[in-house]
Structure 1
């Protein structure tokens, strides 16, 4: 299970009920294509923001009851109406993607969590709306899982994000562990860096375990999908910890044999 982009979330797998595969595919296409506008290719920041503004204009047409002008948003309008999906969740995603274009550093952990609230959590909440499970406890647990997945992606991709001049490790954490961005620039591992990564791993795993009880409140197939998603994220954290945080030379990823581990662990949740 890759932990990258929106593959962090259930995307019409065989475990998702057939009637909900199309809505989930459409949500995924919206999130992935908007993320690509903000992140892929060689467009200028101004061009990226213009592309996201065009997406925002389409959302506002849906909100006002007007017909969208593109096939993606026509399909999105249908599932929003059919499942009473909150349009603000789509706005939040676009807001986070636009932020990625212009903001490259996060002062502290609360600021990073606010970004995750808009960049990751809306997708989980949309899935819960599709299944009609929108109790406050379940939404909170979903937020914990989605934020944890986003953080895991950040810790996994420290070196990759550096190439885009992005640092998601909170700035206040560096001096506490006596490391700096210079260590990232030099791909320099140290015991202090390992301690920093252990600290960040603990943050993500705590959130993931706080959200994990959600699986018991969800229908069979979705519950198993989320079990595998949670275990995939935790497995990545294990890999980072096993290398003592050396994400510069050994970026953690999962292989086909990990599916056996994930399946086995999912049975005991």
Structure 2
């Protein structure tokens, strides 16, 4: 991407990171709904051209150069509000709403900067839908990767309770970790549950693919790279025997590097619809 676009994406990333740190950072235990209200007021100030610090000012600069809408930013703050009060999600629809707010919004924030291919003649809604899907898929992957950490350190269970019930799994089993007393391996119920969750996440990644090659040519490679790397975390969970209680799935740096040429080729094979 051009330096101007890189700076704009960086400004959005930093704002999102600061927002996430409010509820997941070292001072998270002191964050109140009122603090998030003040953060939203500060956001309004940024969009009014009244930054508080230099980092806010970089986002102001982005807003002056690209037609970025405030609503996804507001929605992300609403996602942080959910984290303060909602440690469980009964249905996938509830989880979908959360994932949209904390991650799908990032795709919507970034789209005005990345832009569509100059030869794209289709409905731009398709591209926005794909950007949204990529954010959702990434967040679903985060949730599956971090089940143990979220349960043990935060008493949070993000995977839908209705899905746990379907596979005969209780909340308490998730909180303590599901290992077979006789073998020490992950319980078969959890393996079946995780296979279902991973398949659903992969389908959302597939939905995201539909729009990546409609992006502007200088955005396609980085987006394909991000999609491929994140999707491979699902492979890593499988390679760990579906043990996401005390093993963190990740993609090694060497493997990430080796994936870049493949992602580049995908970006070059763009076919406009």
- The TM-score with structure 2 as length reference comes to 0.85
Distance 1:260 1:42 in 2: 34
Shift of 1:265: 3.8
CA deviation vs aligned residue, 1:186-245 (integer Å, no higher than 9, x gap): 222201100000000011000001111322112333111111111112211111123331
**SS at 1:120's partner residue?**
helix
- Equivalence for 2:205: 208
**What root-mean-square deviation, in Å, do the aligned CA atoms of Structure 1 and Structure 2 show?**
1.9
- Equivalence for 2:244: 247
Give 1:144's match in structure 2, choosing from 133, 143, 146.
Answer: 133
Give the direction of change, closer, same or farther, for the CA distance of 1:62–1:251 in structure 2 (3 Å limit).
closer
Distance 2:28 2:215 in 1: 41
Shift of 1:179: 1.2
**SS at 2:115's partner residue?**
coil
Q: Note if contact 2:224-2:263 (Cα within 8 Å) is conserved in structure 1.
A: yes
Give the direction of change, closer, same or farther, for the CA distance of 1:132–1:228 in structure 2 (3 Å limit).
closer
Shift of 1:43: 4.5
Distance 1:21 1:142 in 2: 17
Q: Note if contact 1:37-1:48 (Cα within 8 Å) is conserved in structure 2.
A: no
- Equivalence for 1:166: 156
- Equivalence for 2:143: 154
Give the direction of change, closer, same or farther, for the CA distance of 1:130–1:27 in structure 2 (3 Å limit).
same
Aligned length: 252
RCO higher in 1 or 2 (8 Å CA, sep ≥ 6)? Answer: 1
Q: Note if contact 2:87-2:155 (Cα within 8 Å) is conserved in structure 1.
A: yes
**SS at 2:168's partner residue?**
coil
Shift of 1:261: 4.3
Q: Note if contact 1:80-1:87 (Cα within 8 Å) is conserved in structure 2.
A: no
Distance 1:227 1:105 in 2: 32
- The TM-score with structure 1 as length reference comes to 0.87
Distance 1:256 1:267 in 2: 17
Moved more, 210-219 or 171-180: 210-219
Distance 1:75 1:256 in 2: 30
Does residue 30 of the first structure (1) align with residue 15 of the second (2)?
yes
| CA radius of gyration, larger in | 2
Distance 2:44 2:9 in 1: 21
Distance 1:263 1:79 in 2: 28
Q: Note if contact 2:21-2:28 (Cα within 8 Å) is conserved in structure 1.
A: no
Distance 1:43 1:243 in 2: 30
Consecutive unaligned residues in structure 2, runs of 5 or more: 117-122, 179-185, 267-273
